[in-house]
């Protein structure tokens, strides 16, 4: 019984056996499904049953009739053997992949700097997923309004804008003379309110957001690290597969007479 897809004189790589495992798993499931389908058929008893019937007349003068034969169409042991063969193959491939995973490693290198060396491929797969999720978080970070000039305020533990001064006004009653008084008529006046500056507001905005440049730097770093982890994973996936034939032992026990 073969173990991995490795041909004589040819090395199977980890990334290849990962792809092989999917198809091998599908065939194993198909073989098991075939047994389920056979068991659920209403005509299963007939398919499992064969018959040999011969006729013998009561004496030599009697009519002779031909033998009747019905072949067995379904053999349970054959179904089991086929299912066990594909299951054994799946065990071999998966065990070899898992064994190789324990040895496959890669270096995480960013801009020529080795961030982490000899990293297991299983960790690299997890790290890649988590870093992609982390990038999604960074992409949503709020940034400071570029319309303002911001400086870091240590005491306030926040960023502060340049102070802006605005006026405060109040309505002051005024009287306007429309017509001066004469000997015959009194003066005609009207009252109105006038907005008069009475003070000044000085406003300083505070913000817990980050500068746009800081966000851009964080995104650039995570993008570089994701790319480096992917390269390390590809490096690890070029490891030669280590054969781990377990299928025969497991299925041999299952089908032992």
> For 109-155, how does the pLDDT look when each residue is reduced to its tens digit (9 = 90+)?
999 999 999 999 999 999 999 999 999 999 999 999 999 999 999 99
39 has a pLDDT exceeding 60: yes
Same domain membership, residue 231 and residue 141: yes
Same domain membership, residue 139 and residue 62: no
φ, ψ dihedrals at 90, nearest 5°: -65, -45
Q: Which range marks the domain in which residue 172 is found?
A: 150-206
Same domain membership, residue 31 and residue 96: yes
Same domain membership, residue 227 and residue 185: no
> For 82-108, how does the pLDDT look when each residue is reduced to its tens digit (9 = 90+)?
899 999 999 999 999 999 999 999 999
Relative to beta strand 113-120, strand 105-110 is antiparallel
| Gap between the Cα atoms of 89 and 83, Å rounded | 10
Same domain membership, residue 83 and residue 20: yes
Segment 58-70 shows an average pLDDT of 87
> Which residues, including other chains, have CB under 8 Å from residue 95's CB and lie 6 or more apart?
244, 245, 246, 247
Print burial letters for 93-122: b (CB count within 10 Å at least 16), e (below 16). bbbbbeebbeebbbebeeeeeeebeebebe
Same domain membership, residue 127 and residue 95: no
Same domain membership, residue 128 and residue 10: no
Same domain membership, residue 92 and residue 109: no
Same domain membership, residue 158 and residue 100: no
> For 173-227, how does the pLDDT look when each residue is reduced to its tens digit (9 = 90+)?
988 888 787 887 888 888 889 999 999 999 999 999 999 999 999 999 999 999 9
Number of domains in the chain: 3
Same domain membership, residue 15 and residue 29: yes
Q: Which residues pair with 153 in a beta bridge?
A: 158
Same domain membership, residue 7 and residue 80: yes
Same domain membership, residue 1 and residue 72: yes
């Amino acid at each position: 019984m073969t173990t991995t897809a490795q041909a004589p004189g040819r090395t199977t790589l980890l990334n290849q056996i990962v792809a092989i495992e999917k198809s091998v798993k599908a065939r194993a499931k198909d073989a098991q499904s075939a047994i389920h389908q056979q068991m659920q058929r209403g005509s299963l008893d007939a398919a499992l049953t064969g018959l040999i019937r011969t006729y013998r007349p009561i004496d030599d003068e009697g009519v002779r009739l031909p033998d009747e034969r019905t072949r067995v169409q379904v053999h349970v042991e054959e179904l089991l053997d086929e299912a066990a063969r594909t299951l054994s193959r799946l065990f071999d491939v998966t065990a070899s992949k898992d064994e190789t995973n324990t040895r496959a490693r890669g270096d995480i290198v960013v801009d020529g700097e080795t961030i982490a060396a000899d990293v297991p491929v299983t960790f690299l797969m997890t790290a890649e997923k988590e870093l992609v999720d982390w990038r999604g978080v960074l992409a949503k970070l709020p940034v400071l309004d570029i319309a303002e000039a911001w400086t870091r305020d240590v005491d306030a533990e926040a960023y502060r804008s340049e102070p802006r001064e605005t006026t405060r006004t109040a309505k002051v009653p005024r009287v306007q003379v429309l017509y001066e008084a004469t000997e015959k008529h009194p003066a005609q006046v009207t009252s109105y309110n006038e907005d008069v500056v009475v003070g000044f507001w000085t406003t300083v905005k505070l913000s817990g957001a980050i500068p746009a440049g800081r966000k851009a730097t964080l995104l650039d770093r995570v993008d570089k690290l994701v790319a480096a982890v992917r390269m390390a994973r590809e490096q690890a996936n070029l490891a030669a597969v280590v054969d781990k034939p377990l299928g025969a032992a497991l299925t041999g026990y299952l089908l032992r007479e």
